[in-house]
């Protein structure tokens, strides 16, 4: 279908990591894009659409599949397996979504994705679209993770308060909870993020909590 004349600068597809703490910052970023004259679509999974209130009067919301439509991403398989399935099924689902908007005359111009989903960058390169990673965690959390990853902090932490340049003294209750060995799976997921950060072509950061 031939594209009709646009009343917007570009159509942005946003693909968040499927949890409230990641969806909400992505949603707020989309609203900023709209105020700048862009068209924005937020892609959530079928499972997320069934368990969360995700309506918005400003941002268009559409559905993709991550391969876990019934039970959700976290309860089915270990994270590495879930991520691999999200990559396989999600990539096909995103293609279907792009085809839909192409047929409607409002094709996707670029994709913003959660930095915990680095496979989306590979997808963008394959389909020839610009891809921008968004670190949805507050920047202070990312900085603390950076300290753990580079061995400047030990896990678990043995002494408090922790002193990190640029941050106030950090007590046990101030740390991301998964750094206290309460959620090793999420910690590994963030380590995977840090291993792939250098591959991002573009990067945006959440400066606010």
In tens, the pLDDT along 24-34 reads 888 888 888 99
Q: What is the mean pLDDT of residues 118-135?
A: 91
CATH of domain 11-138+198-206: 3.40.50.2000
Q: What is the mean pLDDT of residues 95-103?
A: 97
Q: Where are the domains of the chain?
A: 11-138+198-206
Read out DSSP for 5-47? PPSSS-EEEEE--SSHHHHHHHHHHHHHHHHTT-EEEEEEEHH
Annotation says 114 is catalytic: yes
Q: How confident is the model at residue 184 (pLDDT cuts 50, 70, 90)?
A: very low
Q: Which of 7, 11, 66, 114 is catalytic?
A: 114
Tokens of 127: 């389909």
| CA gyration radius, the chain | 18
Q: Which of 22, 69, 77, 174 is catalytic?
A: 22
Annotation says 22 is catalytic: yes
In tens, the pLDDT along 156-178 reads 788 889 888 888 998 888 876 55
Torsion of CA 61, 127, 84, 62, to 10 degrees: 10
């Amino acid at each position: 279908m031939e594209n009709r004349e646009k009343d917007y600068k570009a159509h942005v597809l946003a693909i968040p990591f499927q949890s409230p703490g990641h969806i909400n910052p992505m949603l707020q970023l989309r609203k900023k894009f709209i105020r700048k004259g862009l068209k924005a679509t937020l892609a959530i999974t079928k499972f997320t659409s069934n368990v969360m209130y995700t309506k918005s009067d400003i941002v268009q919301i559409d559905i993709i599949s991550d391969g876990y439509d019934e039970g959700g991403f976290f309860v089915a398989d270990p994270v590495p397996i879930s991520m691999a399935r999200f990559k396989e099924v999600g990539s096909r689902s995103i293609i279907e979504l792009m085809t839909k908007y192409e047929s409607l005359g409002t094709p996707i111009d670029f994709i913003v994705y959660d930095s915990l989903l680095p496979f989306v960058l590979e997808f963008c390169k394959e389909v020839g679209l610009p891809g921008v990673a968004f670190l949805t965690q507050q920047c202070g959390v990312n900085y603390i993770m950076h300290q753990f990853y580079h061995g400047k902090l030990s896990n678990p932490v043995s002494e408090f308060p922790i002193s990190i340049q640029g941050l106030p003294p950090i007590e046990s209750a101030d740390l991301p909870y998964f750094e206290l060995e309460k959620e090793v799976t999420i910690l590994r997921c963030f380590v995977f993020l840090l291993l792939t950060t250098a591959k991002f072509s573009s990067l945006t950061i959440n400066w606010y909590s």
